[in-house]
Amino acid sequence: MWLLAVRPASATPESLAETLRAVTGGRPVTEGGVTLELPRIADNGNVVPATVKVASAQTPEDHVRVIRILSEQNPVPLVVEMFLGPDVPKAEVATRIRLAKTQRVIALAEMQDGSFRSATMQVEVTISACGDD
């Protein structure tokens, strides 16, 4: 029975695609209008600073509702979801994430009108996070 508790060691591009579909409800995602700032080489995958900026006027009619960071190779593809209030003046957030291995990271912005924009970045990870090493 204990086998049931064992979780997959890492996500795959397929589970990333699945998570993307679940989050967007299958709506199209436009590449662009989002800047994802990550180190090209992360010496320590346990602490990777990430900044996401979205080109948005941040008006009541046109603003970013959610900024998500998704991972291709982490055990959990949806790393973090950040919800912005309607009067947040700047669509720019920063956090620190873990990266299990070298992979593509996606920043996904959900706009007020329900549309999605994204940016993708490849990060080279020297020391892996999440594992036992």
Answer yes or no whether residue 47 interacts with another protein by CB under 8 A: yes
Binding mask 4-43 for another protein (x = CB under 8 A): -x-x-x----------------------------------
For residue 102, count CB atoms less than 10 angstroms from its CB and return exposed for 0-12, middle for 13-18, buried for 19 or more. middle
Answer yes or no whether residue 130 interacts with another protein by CB under 8 A: yes
Give SS3 for 86: coil
| Distance between CA atoms of residues 43 and 47, nearest Å | 9
Nearest residue (CB) to another protein, 6 versus 28: 6
Binding mask 105-124 for another protein (x = CB under 8 A): --------------------
Torsion of CA 20, 25, 30, 32, to 10 degrees: -50
Specify the amino acid at residue 98: R
Answer yes or no whether residue 89 interacts with another protein by CB under 8 A: yes
Do β-strands 116-127 and 103-111 pair in parallel, antiparallel, or remain unpaired? antiparallel
Among 54, 79, 109, 123, binds another protein (CB under 8 A): 79
The alpha carbon of residue 116 and the mean position of all alpha carbons in its chain are separated, in whole angstroms, by: 13
Among 21, 22, 94, 122, binds another protein (CB under 8 A): 94
Residues forming the site for another protein (CB under 8 A): 5, 7, 9, 46-48, 51, 69, 71, 74-76, 78-85, 87-90, 92-99, 129-132
